[in-house]
Amino acid sequence: MTADPAENRLVHSWRATELALPGVAVAPRVEPRIARPAALRFPIDVPRPVVTRVGLFDTRPAVQSFHFQSPAAQPPAAPRRMEPPADSAVTSLHGLPPEGLEAEADAGPSASTPKRTRIAPPADVVKLSERFFYLLQPDLETILETSSLEFPRQPFPFQFDGMAFLMPRHGAVLADEMGLGKSMQAISSIRLLVRSGQARRVLVVCPKGLVSNWTRELADWAPEILVAVIEGDQQRRRWQWSLTDVPVKVANYEALVRDRDLIAELGLSFDLMVLDEAQRIKNRSSQTSEAVRSVPRRRSWALTGTPVENSSDDLVGVFEFIAPGHLHERMSPKAMGAAAADHVLRRTKDKVLKDMPPRLNRDERIELSPEQRETYRRAEEEGVLRLSELGQEATIQNVFELVLRLKQICNFDTFTGESAKLDCLEADLEEIHASGKKALVFSQWVETLGRLRGRLSRFGALEYHGGMSTTARDETIRQFKQEKKHSVLLLSYGAGAVGLNLQFSQYVFLFDRWWNPAVEDQAINRAHRIGAVGAVTVTRFLSANTIEERIDEVLRRKRDLSDTILSQAEAPAASGLTQDDLFALFKLAPPRSAAPIRAAA
Amino acid sequence: MEQKSAEAAGGAVAGPKAYGFLTAVESGTHGVFGGYLLVDPWGRPLEFHCTAPVKVSRAQQILFGSTLQSHLHGQQIGGTLLGEGTVTPEVVLTDLEPMMHVRSHTKLPVALIRGASSGSPAATFGSAVGTGSFTIGNASVSPHVTDAARGDDLRERLEELAAAVDLCEPFERIRAAIDEAQRR
């Protein structure tokens, strides 16, 4: 056996060898017969043994290395643990920590182990180094504790999950049910991105009526971040857009549309753009959608409690902002749900706040007064007759006009001013007012609010609607919150259904019904949200045997659509208020092919 | 054995304070992956190094006998990973006892971390774990036998980090990263 150093292997060879036996010395006189040869030789082929060499870890394993940049902002020397403040609305419900917090913590490996929220990389982050960047970060609670960030109150565990969802995503839809703190989650995420240097220019776009809400929430949840509100004349707005040392700018949708060219002219781009009430851009061909999508940006987040209001197309419209081309109208609800899954986070109160005060729904079926009934009957008969006469010439506008007229009669008799609903409402408010509690009353019409205010003045009724200036509206909210004499706030769906935090109200009345259940939910959730101090009773007035009952049936069918897409289930048969639906309210055949009616939303 | 890092060369790289977390994950399919995470005093990642899987043959198991794990973890994986670090940590922490043998290949103090509730491993004859264990936060820290006399020094070095993170927690991150690497 020899070693061949050149080939670093063993060479086995077969070589003949000999077996020699020693001979015996014999004396000369000894019989020569017994003489033997000196040695016996037997040639034998002896094979060399096979030797296997075992490698003893003679090479080091390959190593992949990743280096991460330290954040620009350095945390303080002494990290601080967040404690829920004693006066927090959330913690003061029963003098106990937030129930949701406890429930989540109990779900962990040990009841004594506080919940730790990991920032998981999104599915569309492909590079291993980028995925490691997120996976190797400390949990979110630790990041916050070591970053000297103070919060007005301890966020709920599901809100940490929301931040962990938003932070790593370039395109995200936070679609939590109203009242779960979408803006707070977005602001906290913005704050972390700004603090870590990942975002230096952030644009928040919201409805005009919510601008002051956003500035207030930004001041609460990110007090150290400078904020500029885009408002005023063009010269002023130009200056505001040009500010380079203000990390967060807040603009309303109308201002953004108006300043679209200005933004392009100034060459502005943003590290992050956040749309509040993002259902505003569901119609892709609208000016608002086009203006929003024209803004150069790196990250796009959409906040909406109703990503699907009428049809699955609504979600496609929102996705054109956060991830263009990712969804398209031809997808089935199930396929759309699957495609959207990694970009959309939706939680409902019943899932994340199991111990939140309950929402008690009460459908108040009201019989019209005899005079009201007669007025209603005549109006319907005349209206239907007119539509029948129009035949194929009848338009959706004709039908709408009739529906609106009948709904108004359900509120107030146009001749006598009688209102069975108001009689009922008054009776309820007597009790509410006497117990020192607060109620919200929603109506579709500002005119109705005015009439209600007249009759409900003894309850200190206040109005809140789009016809008021922002300052007047803010003052109304302040009065309603702070002054005991105001037991009732009368709101229009248009202005009052979004963005307001009125969780100190225990009663909500839907004096008339909106066209879309999602908007009704938004209205209800002004009161039934985090911080609610007790059960919220929701009363929906329905005039018996009227158009209101028929609309309610349609709304009930529509209510399932959003859940269908977001839960990736099959679509229900009816998914929106169509021309068919509207004509069917009067047992009329639609003139042409049925299509969803966007205007109704 | 070539050591690339500054610490191995006996020098110290000036820079932010860092702490090393060293562990390995065994995969039935691939073998043993090593991971080494360097974090700053607030637990944020500075560097991460991971090895390709090392598969142990039956012959190696027989020939190394009881020394296999210490050789595999301490020298092959641990020694290699520590050689890749570009910053010098205050201390190298591991949650695997065989990994303590990396101390033979580095000048850095090495300590074994356990959840405080699971107690400190006993210092036995031939064990790499020395006396002088202490508890800090939720973790029990047992210095390598070589560093047994430096308990107070190690405690002082770890206090800042332990105020920010649970010392057992970064190992979860390493395991999550290795798991991710296997799936990619």
Looking at residue B74, the DSSP 8-state letter turns out to be I
Whose tokens are 């203006």? That residue is A291
Percent of chain A with pLDDT over 90: 42
Reading the block at residue A490, the tokens are: 């009368």
Query: Which SS3 state, helix, strand or coil, does residue A539 take?
Result: strand
User: How many CB atoms are located within 10 Å of the residue A122 CB?
Assistant: 19
pLDDT at A30: 54
Evaluate if residue A112 carries a pLDDT over 60: no
Helices (H), A200-252: 211-221, 234-242
Q: Which segments of A288-335 are extended strands (E)?
A: 297-303
Which chain B residues contact residue A117 at CB under 8 A?
Answer: none
User: Are A413 and A557 in contact, with CB atoms under 8 Å apart?
Assistant: no
Would you state the pLDDT for residue A515?
78
Report the residue count for chain B.
184
Residue A137's pLDDT is what? 93
Domain ranges of chain B: 19-183
Q: Give the range among A74-88, A121-135, A491-505, B73-87 with minimum mean pLDDT.
A: A74-88
Interface TM-score (ipTM) > 0.85? yes
Interface mutation target, options B4, B44, B86, chain A, most CBs of A under 10 Å: B44
The model's confidence at residue A572, banded by pLDDT at 50, 70 and 90, is very low
A63: three-class secondary structure by DSSP: strand
- pLDDT(B144) > 80: yes
Residue range A280-293: mean pLDDT, rounded: 94
**Sequence-ordered list of residues with C-beta below 8 angstroms from that of A485, at least 6 positions apart, any chain:** A460
Whether the CB of B184 is below 8 Å from some CB of chain A: the reply is yes
Q: Among partner residues A70, A79, A118, which is closest to B46 by beta-carbon distance?
A: A70
Q: Tell me the fold of A115-352.
A: Rossmann fold (3.40.50)
Residue A482: CB partners within 8 Å, gap ≥ 6?
Answer: none
For residue A248, which amino acid is it?
A: V
User: CA A481, CA A476: separation in Å to the nearest integer?
Assistant: 9
Candidate CATH numbers 3.10.450.50, 3.30.559.10, 1.20.1250.20, 3.40.50.300; the one for domain A359-600: 3.40.50.300
| CB contact (8 A) between residue B46 and residue A68 | yes
Cβ-based neighbour number of residue A405 at 10 Å: 17
Beta bridge partners of A15: A46
pLDDT band at A591 (very low <50, low <70, confident <90, very high): low
> Whats the size of chain A, residue-wise?
601
- Same topology, domains A115-352 and A359-600? Answer is yes
Query: What's the pLDDT tens digit per position in A362-417?
Result: 888 888 988 899 999 999 999 888 888 887 777 878 888 899 999 999 999 988 88
Q: State the Cα–Cα distance between residues A533 and A209, nearest whole angstrom.
A: 25
Neighbours of A377 (CB within 10 A): 14
Query: What pLDDT shows up at residue A212?
Result: 80
Is residue A96 over pLDDT 50? no
Provide, rounded to the nearest whole percent, the portion of chain B with pLDDT above 90.
61
What's the rounded Cα separation, in Å, for the pair A423 and A413? 13
The answer to whether A441 and A526 are in contact (CB under 8 A) is no
pLDDT of residue A11: 43
**In angstroms, what separates the C-alpha of A74 from chain B's closest C-alpha?**
9
pLDDT at site A568: 47
Query: What's the rounded Cα separation, in Å, for the pair A228 and A219?
Result: 12
Average pLDDT on A332-350 reads 88
- On whether any CB of chain B is under 8 Å from the CB of A81, the answer is no
This prediction's pTM? 0.67
pLDDT at residue A594, rounded to an integer: 42
Write down the mean pLDDT value for chain A: 80
Choose among A414, A419, A375: nearest CA to A512. Answer: A419
Task: Kindly report which listed range (A352-356, A406-410, B82-86, B139-143) carries the lowest average pLDDT score.
Answer: A352-356
Residue A236 neighbours by CB under 8 Å, 6+ apart? none
Domain segments of chain A as ranges: 2-47, 115-352, 359-600
Q: Is B169 near chain A, with CB under 8 Å?
A: yes
Query: If we measure between CA atoms, which residue out of B146, B166, B1 comes closest to residue B95?
Result: B166
What band does A177 get if pLDDT is binned at 50, 70 and 90? confident
Q: What is the C-alpha to C-alpha distance for residues A220 and A233, in angstroms, rounded to an integer?
A: 28
Give residue A14's pLDDT band: very low, low, confident or very high (50, 70, 90). very low
User: pLDDT category, A20, cuts 50, 70, 90?
Assistant: low
Please check the confidence at residue A5 and state whether its pLDDT lies above 90: no
pLDDT in the model for residue A241: 96
Query: To the nearest whole angstrom, how far is the Cα of B66 from the nearest Cα of chain A?
Result: 15
Answer whether A77 touches B (CB < 8 Å). Answer: yes
Task: With beta carbons less than 8 A apart as the criterion, state whether B35 and B25 touch.
Answer: yes
Query: What would the pLDDT profile of B37-61 be if each residue is shown by its tens digit?
Result: 999 999 999 999 999 999 888 888 8
pLDDT higher than threshold 60 for residue A72: no
pLDDT band at B132; cut points 50, 70, 90: confident
| Poorest-pLDDT segment among A7-11, A385-389, A441-445, A521-525 | A7-11
Do the Cβ atoms of B59 and A54 come within 8 Å? yes
